[in-house]
Copies of this chain bind each other. A is one copy, B any other.
Amino acid sequence: MEHAVPHDALIATAEAAADAAGACIRPLFRSRLAPEDKADASPVTIADRGAEAAMRAVIRARHPEHGILGEEGGAERPGARWRWVLDPIDGTRAFITGRPLFGTLIALLDGATPLLGVIDQPVTGERWIGYAGRPTRFRGGFGGVAGCRPCARLDLAELSATSPDMFDAAATPAWRRLAGAVRRRSWGGDCYAYGLLALGQIDIVAEADLKLWDWAALVPVVEGAGGRLTDWRGAPLREGGDGRALAVGDPALLAPAVARLAG
Q: Which residues of A contact B (CB under 8 A)?
A: 26, 29-36, 93-94, 96-101, 123-124, 142-145, 149-151, 153, 156-158, 160, 162-165, 183-189, 192-193, 196, 199-203
**Bound form: Cα–Cα A145–B202 in Å:** 32
**Bound form: Cα–Cα A36–B99 in Å:** 30
Do the beta carbons of A97 and B196 come within 8 Å of each other? yes
Given contacts A35-B157, A97-B196, A156-B35, whether A142 and B186 have CB atoms under 8 Å apart is: no
Most buried by B among A30, A156, A186: A186
Report the copy number of this chain in the oligomer: 2
Do the beta carbons of B185 and A165 come within 8 Å of each other? yes
Instruction: Enumerate chain B residues within 8 angstroms of A156, measured Cβ to Cβ.
Output: 35-36
**Bound form: Cα–Cα A97–B97 in Å:** 20
Given contacts A142-B29, A163-B185, whether A98 and B35 have CB atoms under 8 Å apart is: no
Shortest Cβ gap from A24 to chain B (Å): 14
* A186 interface neighbour in B30, B93, B100, B183, Cβ under 8 Å: B93
15 contacts between A and B (CB under 8 A): A26-B143, A30-B143, A34-B149, A34-B150, A35-B151, A35-B156, A35-B157, A35-B203, A96-B186, A97-B158, A97-B186, A98-B196, A101-B188, A124-B142, A162-B187
Shortest Cβ gap from A100 to chain B (Å): 6
Do the beta carbons of B201 and A98 come within 8 Å of each other? yes
Do the beta carbons of B142 and A100 come within 8 Å of each other? yes
Do the beta carbons of A187 and B201 come within 8 Å of each other? no
* A32 interface neighbour in B34, B35, B124, B200, Cβ under 8 Å: B200
